[in-house]
Amino acid sequence: MRFSEIKTHLRKFRVGIAGAGGLGSNCAVALAKCGVGTLVISDFDTIEESNLNRQYYFTDQIGMLKTIALKENVARTNPEVFVIIYQKRLDSHNIPEIFSGCNVIVEAFDSAEMKQMLIETVQLKMAGIPVVAASGLAGWGKSEAIKQRKIDDTLYICGDESSEASEDLPTLAPRVGIVANMQANIVVEILMKMK
């Protein structure tokens, strides 16, 4: 299949991205480059200098809302992508509204509590919508430990499922980028199978 055909197919779909940090920003850019039609991105944070070790933002964007900066960065890489943004703290009540109509949802949070909340909410309240989550990506090296695991048709997990982020084991661009792109890769795979 040619890229022009892939792009035409992917243009029909809408992908939700919960969080616009290291995972969300890198995943959004990868999906935009492939030509996914619509991205729905939700985050309430602003860009800090410390984010630039892994997140897809630039020094002149420090202080901006991540959603606004990411919309700008997506437009700079592929202006054909339609980007809908929400400055919301996501919870079990607003997730079904914000991501309604999405064909796939990417879990792109930093905290384990939020990851669990999002997966639970989508699985319980948005039956049938696949979630592509990430767990275990802190530190460096050990690329071979990073895997993807399909639990069933509606739940996928990417990461080593063991490296927890901490002060002594920070998240860094290479492993976060691997996992974010792995998530994007699964999203593309799911969408390519959809009619």
Q: Which helix (H) or strand (E) holds 10?
A: helix 3-10
Does the footprint of another protein cover residue 151 (CB under 8 A)? Answer: yes
What is the nearest approach in angstroms of another protein to the Cβ of residue 124?
Answer: 6
Q: Which helix (H) or strand (E) holds 84?
A: strand 82-86
Q: Map residues 118-147 to x or -, x wherever contact with another protein holds by CB under 8 A.
A: -xx--xx--------xxxxxx---------
CB 158 within 8 A of CB 187: no
The residue from 13, 56, 99, 109 that contacts another protein (CB under 8 A) is 109
Task: Tell me how far apart the alpha carbons of residues 115 and 46 are, in angstroms, rounded to a whole number.
Answer: 20
Which DSSP symbol is given to 35?
A: T
What is the nearest approach in angstroms of another protein to the Cβ of residue 30?
Answer: 15
Q: Which helix (H) or strand (E) holds 149?
A: strand 147-152
What is the nearest approach in angstroms of another protein to the Cβ of residue 134?
Answer: 6
What is the nearest approach in angstroms of another protein to the Cβ of residue 68?
Answer: 20
Q: Map residues 65-104 to x or -, x wherever contact with another protein holds by CB under 8 A.
A: ----------------------------------------
Among the listed residues 5, 12, 27, 1, the one whose alpha carbon sits nearest the alpha carbon of residue 133: 27
